[in-house]
Structure 1
Amino acid sequence: MTNHEWAYTTESGHLAGTDLTGWRVEAADGHIGKVDKHSDEVGDAYLVVDTGVWIFGKEVLIPASAVTGVDLEAQTVHLGLVKEQVKNSPEFHSDKHLADRQYREEIAAYYRTGGPFSGGGMGAA
Structure 2
Amino acid sequence: MTEHLWNYQPTAGHLAGTDLSGYKVEALDGGIGKVDKHSEEVDDAYLVVDTGPWIFGREVLLPASTVVRIDLDDRKIFVDRTKAQIKDAPEFHREKHLGEPGYRDELTAYYGLGGPFGGRLL
Category of TM-score, reference length = shorter chain = 0.7 to 0.9
TM-score by length of 2: 0.88
Q: Distance in 1 between matches of 2:34 and 2:23?
A: 5
Q: Secondary structure at the match of 2:11?
A: helix
**Which protein has the bigger helix share?**
1
Count of residues in correspondence between the two structures: 114
TM-score by length of 1: 0.86
Q: Distance in 1 between matches of 2:36 and 2:26?
A: 14
Q: Distance in 1 between matches of 2:9 and 2:101?
A: 21
Q: Distance in 2 between matches of 1:26 and 1:76?
A: 7
Partner residue, 1:58: 58
Partner residue, 2:20: 20
Quick one: percent identity of the two aligned structures?
Answer: 58
Q: Distance in 1 between matches of 2:31 and 2:20?
A: 16
Q: Judge conservation of contact 1:23–1:34 (CA < 8 Å) in 2.
A: yes
1:101 deviation in Å? Answer: 4.7
1:3 deviation in Å? Answer: 3.3
Change (3 A) 1:101 1:79: farther
Name the amino acid aligned to 1:114.
P
Aligned ranges 1:69-80 → 2 under 5 Å? 69-80=69-80
Partner residue, 1:119: none
Aligned ranges 1:28-107 → 2 under 5 Å? 28-107=28-107
Q: Distance in 2 between matches of 1:114 and 1:79?
A: 16
Name the amino acid aligned to 1:48.
V
1:19 deviation in Å? Answer: 0.4
Q: Deviations over 1:53-112 (max 9, x none)?
A: 000001011100000000000000100000001111121112222312521121122123
Q: Judge conservation of contact 1:55–1:87 (CA < 8 Å) in 2.
A: yes
Partner residue, 1:123: none
Match among 90, 107, 116 for residue 114 of structure 1? 116
Superposition RMSD on alpha carbons, in Å?
1.3
Q: Deviations over 1:24-71 (max 9, x none)?
A: 000011000000100001111000011110000010111000000000
